[in-house]
Amino acid sequence: MTAPGNAKVAIVMGSQSDWETMTCAEEVLGELGVATDVRIVSAHRTPDRMYDFAKRAAADGFEVIIAGAGGAAHLPGMIAALTHVPVLGVPVQSRALSGEDSLLSIVQMPAGVPVGTLAIGKAGATNAGLLAAAILANHDPDLSQRLQDWRAARSAAVTERPVD
Ligand code: RP5
């Protein structure tokens, strides 16, 4: 799971409670043979840790950052403000507002500081992993083939008609 030193994808989240969602990103990247470095980095509770992570992200070799947070979800946007490494934001489904708060906190960035925002919850985390893989695959032909095979297998698994 965590491979500090050689991972090109960082998966960060605001709380341990986000891991149930964010593990979906790590899982699909694992299926594709992409190493990840997984960390808890909170914009609110550990702002210094977030700052240090984001400022070092490019030098540490990360090419994509997946950042998940819920509620007042400032983490993806703050990280995007501190690094030029592309940031994919995953709105974690909150208890109070079912993740609409997370989504709106992440998606509506001012022009100039982009966060690629995914769907709320586990679907968003899985798709963030797939997007990260697709970005890396632009300069990794082996990964590109594995990604195409993964997608072909998903298509092949869809039956023509529903089964009882
Ligand atoms: C956010 O607050 C986290 O990203 C999490 O989604 C939410 C709730 O955190 P916990 O109270 O469960 O630690 O910062």
Instruction: Convert the pLDDT of each residue in 94-129 to its tens digit.
Output: 999 999 999 999 999 999 999 999 999 999 999 999
Take atom 12 of ligand 1 and give the residue whose Cα is closest: 17
Q: Find out whether 45 is annotated in a ligand binding site.
A: yes
Ligand 1 centroid distance, CA of 70 (Å):
6
Regions of the chain short of the pLDDT cut 70: 1-4
| Antiparallel, parallel or unpaired: β 116-117 and 87-92 | parallel
The reported pTM is 0.96
| 68 CA to centre of ligand 1 in angstroms | 10
Domains of the chain: 9-156 (3.40.50.1970)
Residues with CB under 6 A from ligand 1: 14-15, 17-18, 42, 44, 69-71, 92
User: Phi/psi of residue 69, each to 5°?
Assistant: -160, 160
Terminal-residue alpha carbon distance, the chain: 37
- ipTM for the assembly: 0.97
Cα angle 79, 24, 38 (rounded to 5 degrees) comes to 45
Residue 92 CA: which ligand 1 atom is closest?
6
- The Å distance, Cα 14 to ligand 1 centre, comes to 6
- Nearest alpha-carbon partner for 68 in 145, 138, 15, 127: 15
